[in-house]
Chains A and B, each alone.
Chain A
Amino acid sequence: MKKKVALLLALVMVFSMFAVGCGGGGDDAEYAGTVKIGVFEPASGDNGPGGKQEALGVQYANYVQPTVEIGGETYKVELVEADNESDNGKAVTAATNLVSSGVSIVLGSYGSAVSIAAGDVFKDAGMPAMGITCTNPQVTKGNDVYFRICFLDPFQGTVLANYAWDNGMRKAYCLSKLGDDYSVGLANFFMQAFKAKGGAVVYEQFPDKNSDFTGYVANAKKQGCDVFFSPVSIEAAVLIIDQAQAQKLGMPILAGDTWDSNKVAEAAKGTDVEIIVTTFYQEGGNAQFDEGIKAWMEEDSTALKNNGGNTDLAAVTAMGYDAYFVALEAIKAAGSTDPADVLAALPNVEYDGVCGKVVFGENGDAVRDVAYVKKCNNETGKWEFLAEQRVEE
């Protein structure tokens, strides 16, 4: 009996190895070659939903523009996706996996922590990487191969703090997740800016895998705060909104770019929780893009599922779309698929995307000075544009 099972297992393994061998083939003859772009995004874990939405933008862009001209020849663009599981430990092997699959440039990740964790892998391999919405300064600082096309947390934190202060909020409850560089970073920059203005803050952190936000909401109420600032993941956002509704939080919730997601808006639908976020892109900012991607999602059921079941756009999707084209520009400018050439060409790339113009400045960060403030409409469950916010330097 045991021997038979062993034999069966062994057969399955051998069979699988063949499957690997066969799976790799199949270059299309009409192209001069293939250029691979790595998509380094979480498909599972805490940041799974966000990562999937960001990857959607890249996928759609690849659908719109599946080829690239390099030195007068047409190359097919192939996306190689690696799931970093929102886990710093897994991020390293996922990144190694991308590097080893022969990509020319890597895009991502959603969630700064995994980007920071994987930064050294890209650095050691000389692989250009481009953050799409990882806003923590540490992603690009001291890392010559990491670029990014979004704004940074010090900027976003200040924008949010300014907004809160200007709207008469004086005491802020800040909640971040332990070990999540994005939320901890943004909360800290927010607190710095808010305190500088003269505001008071209460700061708490919740542990990994926590789903009980009762205590945190109760604490915010108990401390008599004016605003609940929680720049956390979408997963946590949904739970926080639910508790806020159950306990009648009675103060607006303020958050960063992560909350700009249809999942969050949906959770807030029908409640009386007030949610305000800052983000990169406002739906309707580019009608052609909006219509195109919506039509694409209607057709592709997987894409629709990954977007949370409806076609409302998240800013990260638009950013992902832009990132893909910036990457293509870089490859075109490099005139080669070699990562080293792409890396050399990347700093000088300029691109006018749906989320505005991308120009790389210091540290490889895009020069951005605008954030969009949005508010959730509790009746329709949609995001509504509130204001464009800048920071006076």
Chain B
Amino acid sequence: MTEERLTARCLSKKTKYILSAAAIIAVLALVWVLEQNIPPTSSWSMLFTVIKKGAIYSLVVVSMNLLNGFTGLFSLGQAGFMLIGAYAYAIFAIPVEAKDSVYQYYEPLIGFSVPEMLTNAMGGAGTVGGTLGEYLGVIILMLFAGLVTAGIAFLIGLPVLRLKSDYLAIASLGFAEIIRTIFQWDGLGSVTNGSNLLRKFPTFSSSLFPLIVSGLCIAIIVLLINSSYGRAFKAIRDDEIAAEAMGVNLFKHKQLSFVISSFFTGIGGAMLAMFQATVNATPFTSNMTYELLLIVVIGGIGSVTGSVIGSFLFIACSEWWLRFLDEGQFLGMDADFMRPGFRKVVFALIIICIVLFYSRGIMGTREFSWDGVFNFFRTLPTRLVAFFKALPGRLVAFFKALPGRIVKFFKTLPSRISGKVKKLTGKTKNSKNNHINNTDKREEAQ
């Protein structure tokens, strides 16, 4: 019996590969079919906004999770790195004849456009080769954006990664703000167009593009996490001192994680630029980083699957599903309190609830696996049957006990409120362990 269960539980590696490939193809095909059939004026076209932005955010959030969740580095520089990626892409992608209208007040310094050059080199606009060339140029530039971001991250990492937890957070936040200012500076106007919009660079129109790019990048991150290096990162997260004692070079591995995370953040930034069709530095504030961090938490710190689910949920809620809260109607009635901004209040409340009551997030540290899915469905019938069998009894018991409970609730309310304070004092004892844990070597001296 147990033997049989064990074999039933695990699918073979080959099956998993086939399933994954089939799932990916199915999703991409579905998106493609939907895109062909849903006109932009349909209310369902918001779906594509969610897919595009969700895919981009997934990549950025997963790279943030690599840093915060897998390496335990509390870095808050994400928005700054996205900004670098976005600019690195945009500056070199603006077609030559559009430069004058984009750089209205400056003499553009970069006199070429990579996608354009490749389009011309491979057969000119309109031809098959030209189109391929443009794609190639875009891909090259996205890699370039990642590399530039990684390079700058390397330099920032040199001083910043020697700092500990909170100091690291605040220093990286500071660097992000400095980056933002530099990119807005008039003096660099001939490259960055000062604080003004960069636009007219090639963008994508199909949701497949960000899906595929983000998917590939996330796959690479997952491979990394599952490699020996990923284990070293996790060891640093769990216990820096023990990691170092087992021969893990702390600085080198922190730097690796930081640079790789920034590389993918840069690519994410480039895609965000393409999604928005314009870039300027203003929106890349610390609030953007906080938003990303909240998504990491909602998904689960230390879960790639969670980050991806969290991103799509977050984007769908904030851009689409909760919009009705702003529109002044509730169940068909006019509701005065539902004016613009109400959506965000509700949204913020939901987030606080998640942080307070589900600090492990949607996935905790678990990951998606075919075994998990199959086991879920395999055991579903039995569990459902059990649930419904037990339901009448439980309902009866519940309603029987209800009056007594309500009375008890109000009777004990005063004493519980006064008792709460004491209880919390007792609890704090354990907390101290977490409190100091990975902070100082000194504490374990004696």
Give the B-binding residues of A (Cβ under 8 A). 2, 5-6, 9, 16-20, 22-23, 25-26, 43-44, 81, 83, 87-90, 92-93, 96-97, 99-102, 113, 116-117, 119-121, 124-125, 138, 141-142, 178-181, 184-185, 188, 205, 207-208, 339
User: Is there an interface contact between A142 and B101, defined as CB atoms closer than 8 Å?
Assistant: yes
Task: Contact check, A96 vs B275: say whether CB atoms are below 8 A apart.
Answer: no
Q: A5–B353 contact, CB under 8 A?
A: yes
Q: Is the CB of B283 within 8 A of A87?
A: yes
Known pairs A120-B203, A138-B101; A101 contacts B282 (CB<8 A): no
Least Cβ–Cβ distance between A233 and chain B, in angstroms? 13
Supposing A2-B357, A138-B104 touch, asked if A44 and B194 sit within 8 A by C-beta, the answer is: no
| Interchain CA distance A21-B323 in the complex, whole Å | 12
Query: Do residues B321 and A125 form an inter-chain contact, with CB atoms below 8 A?
Result: no
**Which residues of the partner chain A approach B254 to less than 8 Å between Cβ atoms?**
none
Cross-chain contact A19 with B197 (CB below 8 angstroms)? no
Q: What separation, in Å, do the CA atoms of A267 and B393 have in the docked complex?
A: 69
A102 proximity list for chain B (CB < 8 A): 41-43
Give the interface size class of chain B. 35 or more
**Which residues from B are CB-within-8-Å of A184?**
105, 194-196
Given that A5-B353, A100-B45, A178-B282 are known contacts, is A19 also in contact with B195, CB under 8 Å in the complex?
no
Please tell me which one of the listed residues B46, B281, B358 contacts residue A96 in the complex, with CB atoms under 8 A apart: B46
CA distance A96 to B194 in the complex (A): 27
Let me know if A44 and B341 touch, CB within 8 A: yes
> What is the bound-complex CA distance between A141 and B102, given in angstroms?
11
Could you say which residues of chain B place their CB within 8 Å of the CB of A20? 321, 324
Chain B 99-116 per-residue mask, 1 if CB under 8 angstroms from chain A, else 0? 001001100000000000
Q: Which residues of A have CB within 8 Å of B282?
A: 87-88, 178-179, 208
Interface residue from A93, A181, A188, A208 paired with B285 (Cβ < 8 Å): A208
Given A23-B330, A100-B44, A205-B184: 10 more A-B contacts, CB < 8 Å: A16-B325, A19-B329, A88-B278, A99-B41, A100-B49, A117-B199, A117-B276, A125-B41, A179-B282, A184-B195
In the complex, how many angstroms separate the beta carbon of B287 from the nearest chain A beta carbon?
Answer: 10
Binding site for A on B (CB under 8 A): 40-46, 49, 53, 98, 101, 104-105, 181, 184, 186, 194-197, 199-200, 203, 205, 275-278, 280-283, 285, 319-327, 329-332, 340-341, 350, 353, 357-358
**Minimal beta-carbon separation of A189 from chain B (angstroms):** 9
A2-B357, A207-B184 known; A89 vs B276 contact (CB < 8 Å)? yes
Question: Would you list the 5 A-B pairs with minimal beta carbon distance, nearest first?
Answer: A179-B282, A178-B195, A120-B277, A179-B195, A23-B329
Q: Do A44 and B340 touch across chains, with their CB atoms under 8 A apart?
A: yes
Q: Are A23 and B197 in contact (CB under 8 A)?
A: no
B341 to A: closest C-beta gap in Å: 7
CB <8 Å contact, A97 and B46: yes
Q: Which of B320, B326, B353 contacts A83 (CB 8 A)?
A: B326
For this complex, 9 residue pairs linking A to B, each with C-beta atoms less than 8 Å apart, are A19-B331, A22-B332, A23-B329, A43-B340, A88-B282, A93-B319, A100-B45, A181-B197, A188-B105
User: In the complex, what distance in Å separates the CA atom of A81 from the CA atom of B196?
Assistant: 26
Q: Which residues of A contact B332 (CB under 8 A)?
A: 22-23, 25-26
Residues of A with C-beta under 8 A to B325: 16
A20→B248 CA distance, assembly (Å): 54
CB distance from B418 to the nearest CB of A (A): 20
- A22 near B331 with CB under 8 A, answer yes
A188 to B186, CA, bound (A): 12
Contacts of B181 in A (CB 8 A): 207
User: A19–B324 contact, CB under 8 A?
Assistant: yes
Measured between beta carbons, the chain A residues less than 8 angstroms from B186 are: 205
Q: Is the CB of A100 within 8 A of B197?
A: no
What's the Cα separation between A185 and B196 when bound, in Å?
9
- CB-CB under 8 A for A121 and B277, given A9-B350, A102-B42: yes
- Could you tell me the distance between the alpha carbons of A102 and B45 in the complex, rounded to whole angstroms? 10
**Cα separation A83 to B277 with both chains bound (whole Å):** 19
Contacting pair B40 A99 (CB below 8 A): yes
Please, which residues of chain A bring their CB within 8 A of the CB of B184? 178-179, 205, 207
A113 contacts B197, C-beta separation under 8 Å: yes
Q: Which of B194, B195, B283, B358 contacts A89 (CB 8 A)?
A: B283
Bound CA span A178–B189, Å: 12
* Alpha-carbon separation in the docked complex, A113 to B98 (Å): 18
Contact B331 A18, beta carbon cutoff 8 Å: yes
Contacts of A89 in B (CB 8 A): 276, 283
Task: Indicate the member of B101, B280, B330 with the most A CB atoms within 10 Å.
Answer: B280
The reply to whether B340 and A83 form a contact with Cβ atoms under 8 Å apart is yes
Q: How far is the CB of B26 from chain A (nearest CB, A)?
A: 25
Which of A9, A124, A205 is in CB contact (< 8 Å) with B195? A205
Q: Are the CB atoms of A88 and B283 closer together than 8 Å?
A: yes
Give the most central of B101, B276, B332, B357: most A CB within 10 Å.
B276
Q: Which residues of B contact A185 (CB under 8 A)?
A: 104
Query: A9 near B197 (CB under 8 angstroms)?
Result: no
Q: Is the CB of A179 within 8 A of B46?
A: no
Q: How far is the CA of A102 from the CA of B194 in the complex (A)?
A: 36
| Cross-chain contact of A9 among B53, B322, B353 (Cβ < 8 A) | B353
* B101 surroundings in chain A (CB, below 8 A): 138, 141-142
Taken together as a complex, chains A and B put the C-alpha atoms of A70 and B203 apart, in Å, by 37
